[in-house]
Structure 1
Amino acid sequence: MNELLDKMLANSGLEERLAEEIRTAGRLKKVKAGELIFGSDQGGGEMPIVLQGLLKVMRQDEQRNEVFLYYLEGGETCAMSIACCLEGRNTGFHVMAEEDSIVWMIPNSYLDAWMVKYLSFRKFVFSSYQTRFDELLTTIDSVVFHNMDERLLKYLLDTQQATGTFKIQKTHQQIANELNTSRVVVSRLLKGLEADGKIELHRNCIEIL
């Protein structure tokens, strides 16, 4: 675990003193696939940095309808959790483990001081915001300008890129939940993509060709 943390810090471009404070202040958290890290009804007590594995960020409305926003991979943190930490408020989202993952959790009490004290940490936070903002714009464009079949294909390709495998182990219902649509619609569109030779359907598995 120390090797994972050291590798992440070595690639982060953070000052050595800040890297040491991150080692001292944080704690290791292991999460299983499907496990909740932050809930939409919870305050932002800690900022997660992914050491290994894959997390997904979901948006939830008052009726608890959900939509997938973006993935978090190794070395990345969630801009929304930073906002929770710095502002102490609920942003209506939750973070779950897409696969078994290892996360370094940093208490929010350190973040204000690090923002003032370390230029590299400010750059790290702003870079995280910019990356997530760009991904949110892509998600908004997908919802507003693309048909559901285009959204579904983009979702599959994003998942393939994030997981590094062409076989996506998800049920039609899971995909429907993350795209905020019905299972019937997802099943119909997946069959259409299969007929077009873009995917191959298996039991609880979708293979991108």
Structure 2
Amino acid sequence: MDQSLIKQYLLASFPQFEARLIETLIDNAFLKEFNEGDLLMNTGQNMRFTMLVVEGLVKLYREGEDGSEFFMYYIHPGGACALSMICSTKQQTSEIKASAVDKTTVLAVPTTLMDELMKNYKTWYYFVLETYRSRFEELLVVIDHISFKAMDERLEFYLEKQHHDLNTRALMLTHSQIANDLNSSREVISRLLKKMEQQKKVILHRSYIEYLK
């Protein structure tokens, strides 16, 4: 049953993979399920698998020494974490955290398989390169906003990205969560959200933020 389900997921989320690669993954990888809030990857964890997201949504973030969190990006079905690929290939520990935003299923590919996949399957090789490229570009955008944008601009960009990535205008985010993701304080975020509401960019509800732009 698992093998037929793995094939179904791969064909749906990774249609670019060649048939031989799909068969290799079916024979060697396995599915793992996570509930909302579960950690897929933790700081300091040894990476024994590269995880391909086939269902749900994964949030990646960096944790500071004081326990604060900084949001990096989301991984949707059809994607993978470039940093987990690097850590697993070089047998290094993770320097980031990843958690399931909602019920999520991933295909865990053993690190012992990575060299073989890179050498023998062009579609995997190009997938890894594209994953590195796209994640690097996302991180450049984040760095640009941290370095060159004021907090109000960063907040607007953050909410726009949440709207785009989650595909909803009803953002189930608390002011504290946003403050953690942006490495700010709850008071600053609350003040800026109130200003955005006055500008008709959002509506602040009791349990969620309605994005209007």
Short-chain TM bin: over 0.9
For residues 4 and 120 of structure 1, the distance between their equivalents in structure 2, rounded to whole angstroms, comes to 17
Query: Could you state the TM-score of these two structures normalised by the residue count of structure 2?
Result: 0.93
Q: 1:6 aligns with which of 11, 23, 34?
A: 11
Alpha-carbon RMSD: 1.3
User: Where does 1:48-197 land on structure 2 (aligned, <5 Å)?
Assistant: 48-197=51-200
- Tell me, what secondary structure is at the counterpart of 2:98? strand
Query: Could you state the TM-score of these two structures normalised by the residue count of structure 1?
Result: 0.94
Please list the CA deviations of residues 41-78 of structure 1 after superposition, one character each: whole Å capped at 9, or x if unmatched. 10111111111111111112334332111110110000
Question: Percentage identity across aligned positions?
Answer: 36
Name stretches of at least 5 consecutive residues in structure 2 with no aligned partner. none
- Tell me, what secondary structure is at the counterpart of 1:173? helix
Please list the CA deviations of residues 83-113 of structure 1 after superposition, one character each: whole Å capped at 9, or x if unmatched. 1111111241111112221111111111111
For residues 18 and 11 of structure 2, the distance between their equivalents in structure 1, rounded to whole angstroms, comes to 13
Name segments (4+ residues, structure 1) moved above 6 Å: none
The farther-off stretch of 98-107 and 123-132 is 98-107
Q: 2:22 aligns with which of 13, 19, 30?
A: 19
For residues 116 and 61 of structure 1, the distance between their equivalents in structure 2, rounded to whole angstroms, comes to 37
Q: CA deviation at 1:5?
A: 3.2
Q: Does the 8 A contact of 1:45 with 1:108 survive in 2?
A: yes
Q: Does the 8 A contact of 2:42 with 2:94 survive in 1?
A: no
Whichever residue aligns with residue 10 of structure 2, its letter is L
Please list the CA deviations of residues 114-152 of structure 1 after superposition, one character each: whole Å capped at 9, or x if unmatched. 111112211110100000000000000010011111111
- Tell me, what secondary structure is at the counterpart of 1:181? coil
For residues 202 and 165 of structure 1, the distance between their equivalents in structure 2, rounded to whole angstroms, comes to 15
Whichever residue aligns with residue 4 of structure 1, its letter is Y
Whichever residue aligns with residue 170 of structure 1, its letter is L
- Tell me, what secondary structure is at the counterpart of 2:86? helix
The farther-off stretch of 35-44 and 24-33 is 24-33
Q: Does the 8 A contact of 1:33 with 1:100 survive in 2?
A: yes
Q: 1:45 aligns with which of 38, 43, 48?
A: 48
- Tell me, what secondary structure is at the counterpart of 1:44? coil
